[in-house]
Amino acid sequence: MESNLSPIGGTTVIDKNRDMSSLSGLADAAFEAAAAKVVRRARQTGTDILVWKDNAIVQITPEEFERTQPTGSNGELDK
């Protein structure tokens, strides 16, 4: 699965191709970094991730979460 982020030594590397000149580009990068941190922590602790889906709070595994995330800057979902 292609990802815009890759954890290296506990830090997150942002995709250099992302448009960082706009506020929305910076916000997207911050959300992606936060999501990567949540996934990393869920894996370390063996816990699920809570998400809002279909008007309800749902527990999913880190692997399920990653499968539902955008795969690139075009915003398409990997299903």
The answer to whether 51 and 64 have CB atoms below 8 angstroms apart is no
pLDDT at residue 57 greater than cutoff 90: yes
Mean pLDDT across 31-58 = 94
Output the pTM of the full model.
0.59
- In three-state secondary structure terms, 51 is strand
Q: What is the per-residue pLDDT for 36?
A: 92
Over residues 18-40, the pLDDT tens digits come to: 666 788 888 988 998 999 999 99
Domain residue limits, the chain: 5-67
Residue 14: which pLDDT band, with cuts at 50, 70 and 90?
low
